[in-house]
A and B are shown apart, each in its own frame.
Chain A
Amino acid sequence: MGENLFVGMAKGLRTWLESNHFLPIVTDVFLMLLAVVGVLGFLFLNALFLIYYDRKFGAWVQARLGPNRVGPRGIFQTVADTLKLFAKEIFIPNNVDRWPYLLAPVLIFTIPVMLFLVIPFGKGMVPYDLNLGVLYLVAVTSVETIVLWMAGWSSNNKYSLLGAMRSVAQMLSYEMPVIFAMLSVVMMAGSMKLSDIVAAQQKVWFIFLQPVGFLIYFIAVNAEFKRTPFDLVEGESEIISGPYTEYSGMNFALFFLAEYTNFMIGAIMVTTLFLGGWNAPFGWTFIPSWLWFIIKMYFVITLYMWTRWTFLRIRIDQMLNFAWKFLLPVSLVNIFVTGVGLYLYRMIRW
């Protein structure tokens, strides 16, 4: 029953609209808008909750209580924080490059929203199922570098500039392992369409067939979305707050929310590519597929938080060395092994 909750709702709406003799184009646009609003709401609420969850998890690890004032168990803490940042003045320092400076926080939030276009949330729940979904993900993610660079360069602050330079170096280096790890999955699934990749994991998840690829992807995505141990871009104790240093009020809040949304996308991508997406394990289909998706996503998020609250920050040269001298060769070897394995598998089958 829960399984078709959202799909059924969309279907019902469509029949209702059609029965009321709306133009087909109006129906399509209306449903698309509804999907966008739904995704945006999911994204925003989740980001708000994630910030709360991250703080709470950190508190548990450190034998603290964490946020506990606003709402029951402090659940509305981030809402209150965001409201507070809304009310604050957006302070623009002297001699900033005005347009890039003001544009960057807006653009940074559009990227994660764009990424959600191709994510399969559940059975038949894809906003738009692109043929080249994987390529789209990679391409859109790397745009974030430019936005961070805009923020860092236009801020007229050396700390921001350093952070921006770090972000460029980091994103460029970790793009490679990410793509190669994705490539091994694409090879297994034989398609770049995300729904096909999920469907290919119906029986066996790719984490079991691609353990090395999973590890590489897990680490590289962490680096790509700048979480400890790879949080050099922000690097609070070194460069204050990196590209975000000069931002205040809602501009800063947008950066902050975008960071957590990106983090969520990292977890979603790990789920989709390696943990079977919305597929239910052990045939437990009594839990609807979209709920499975969220459960898996939060499992991955918890794993990331666990590493975040345990490790310390890596140094810039070590980070680059790790990407180019370790992750990249290993991922290349992994692709080679995958290719040979697939070839042998087909030879035996046929």
Chain B
Amino acid sequence: MNGMGLLKGLAITFKELWKKPVTLEYPEKKEKLPPRFHGSFTLYSEKCIACGLCQQACPNKVIKVGSIKDENNKRKLASYEMEMKYCLFCGLCVEACPTNALVFNQEYELAKYNVEDIKLTLFKKEQITTGEGSENV
């Protein structure tokens, strides 16, 4: 109790005074993210086989996979929607994907002005061909 601790504290802050800042001027400079970063999602729709495993793996029922059957009775992707407001970014869907069609990307600025914009539509077939196969959403 003689003030030495106070002086030591002052010495430490004085030393820190000359160190370089560790912060980043964010909107101008951005940090390099690791490849595993859990950002938003990218769907390689040509790889997707519309198996719906991601839909099942999701703990919060975020994902909605719509599929149609084509002429060879093969399932094809019709739509892929994610309710991002419920997403936990846990990565279970990415892990469940057997063809690596669904992956994380490096996008992290996900704030939106309108609530409707939060919904992420990764794939939407332009015109759903009628007659052949049924839509299953």
Contact = CB atoms under 8 A, between A and B. Distances in A.
A64 B21 contact: yes
Given A68-B25, A311-B6, A311-B9, A63 B14 contact: no
Contact of A307 (B10, B16, B19, B21): B10
Contact of A310 (B13, B23, B25): B13
A307 B9 CA distance: 9
A63 B13 contact: no
A310 B7 CA distance: 10
Interface residues on A, range: 10 to 19
Contact of B17 (A61, A65, A307): A61
A63 B9 contact: no
Contacts of A307: 10
A226 B104 CA distance: 51
A63 B10 contact: no
Contacts of A60: 17, 21
B120 to A, nearest CB: 31
The B interface is mostly helix, strand or loop, or mixed, namely helix
A219 to B, nearest CB: 11
B20 interface: yes
A62 B14 CA distance: 10
Interface residues of B, number: 14
Given A306-B13, A306-B14, A63 B20 contact: yes
A310 B14 CA distance: 9
Contacts of B9: 310-311
Contacts of A306: 10, 13-14
Nearest to A69: B25
Interface in A291-316: 306-307, 309-311
Given A306-B10, A311-B9, A65 B23 contact: yes
A310 B9 CA distance: 6
Contacts of B13: 61, 306, 309-310
A71 to B, nearest CB: 15
A103 interface: no
B16 A61 contact: yes
Nearest to B18: A60
A337 interface: no
Contact of A63 (B6, B12, B21, B25): B21
30 contacts: A59-B21, A60-B17, A60-B21, A61-B13, A61-B16, A61-B17, A62-B16, A63-B16, A63-B19, A63-B20, A63-B22, A63-B23, A64-B21, A64-B22, A64-B23, A65-B21, A65-B23, A65-B25, A68-B25, A306-B10, A306-B13, A306-B14, A307-B10, A309-B13, A310-B6, A310-B9, A310-B10, A310-B12, A310-B13, A311-B6
Given A64-B21, A65-B23, A306-B10, 11 more contacts: A60-B21, A61-B17, A63-B21, A63-B23, A64-B23, A65-B25, A306-B14, A310-B6, A310-B13, A311-B6, A311-B9
Interface of A: 59-65, 68, 306-307, 309-311
Interface of B: 6, 9-10, 12-14, 16-17, 19-23, 25
